[in-house]
Amino acid sequence: METKLNHLNEKPGFHIWWRLLRPHTLTASFIPVFVGTMLAVLDGSFRPLLFVAMLIAAMLIQAATNMFNEYYDYVRGLDNEKSVGIGGTIVRDGIKPLVIKRLAFIFFGVAILLGVYICMVSSWWIAVIGSLCMLIGYLYTGGPIPIAYTPFGESFSGLLMGTVIIGISYYIQTLTITWQAIVISIPIAILIGCILLSNNIRDLDGDKENGRKTIAILIGRDRAIFLLSSLMLLSYALTAAFIIAGLLPIYSVISFLSIPKARQAVRTFQTNTTNVGMIPAMVATAKTNTIYGALIGLSLLLQIFIPLPL
């Protein structure tokens, strides 16, 4: 066990609970809130408390989804002490499964309280959308037919965590929604879907043995890696098109600084076939979204303080 922990750089104590959150994926909720809010600021509206409330609620919902994933994968027998890429709090650290499940519901509960505040100062329609997001977060690995076991996991995660969260973050600031905000969300939605795709590429063999039907399983490892690279390329192509069309400021060219990280993710997948060897590729995919989204948000801030013609 000690050898395994050292191999995965796992530590006891607080690190156990930190891994449970799967922190390298949490930027998938932070980035959309940040970008959606910056789009609102660019349009002249910013309420700091709403931004903070939305940010915390989104990250709590994602963290809870990760916990449900940990719980239900254990219950269904997918995870064991040798499984790579999971939090491992149940199978390696001995935390009781019920504790993980209850903690996930507590996170949902806090997110609901924050959601009530958001609705009170914006619109109660947000409650409907937020409830749908939490339901899908639960059904991702819970329920009779988990979304994670189907070819639609990437689509659900990209649409909800990318486009929907950006749309909500923009709407609660401006009390309106524009087609520009929705269109600009597409590259981020794609890159968020890529995070899940990279996870499914890494876990392809184990998922196949356990009856999952992910995209990676259906089209095979090599085609899945090609799909990953194609989706990343599409995100950058759309970004270039949006800059040329004036939907994004010229400052947004700085988002292309994330391309080397995307290239690293693809090349690492191409040159590694073991689960442990592919972990850096998944991390690089998540960092691609983080760097890209942060630079897009920064470019919007630059446009606010040093405006250039669109």
CATH code of the domain containing 246: 1.10.600
Is there a domain that residue 189 lies in? Answer: yes
Give domain status of residue 224, yes or no: yes
Burial classification of residue 53, based on how many CB atoms lie within 10 Å of its CB (0-12 exposed, 13-18 middle, 19 or more buried): buried
165 inside domain: yes
CB 19 within 8 A of CB 89: yes
Per-residue pLDDT at 26: 84
Domain span including residue 80: 2-305
| Any domain includes 291 | yes
Q: What is the dihedral of CA 212, 216, 222, 223, to 10 degrees?
A: 130
46, part of any domain = yes
User: Alpha-carbon distance 10 to 282, whole Å?
Assistant: 17
Q: What pLDDT is stored for residue 266 in this prediction?
A: 97
Who's near 120: CB < 8 A, 6+ residues apart? none
Residue 310 falls within a domain, yes or no? no
Per-residue tens of pLDDT for the chain, all 310 residues: 444 444 455 666 667 777 777 777 788 899 999 999 999 999 999 999 999 999 999 999 999 998 898 898 888 877 666 666 556 678 777 789 899 999 999 999 999 999 999 999 999 999 999 999 999 999 998 888 899 889 999 999 999 999 999 999 999 999 999 999 999 999 999 999 999 999 999 999 888 888 889 999 999 999 999 999 999 999 999 999 999 999 999 999 999 999 999 999 999 999 999 988 999 999 999 999 999 999 999 999 999 999 988 7
Q: How many structural domains compose the chain? A: 1
Nearest C-alpha neighbor of 27 from the set 285, 214, 270: 285
Give me Rg for the CA atoms of the chain: 19
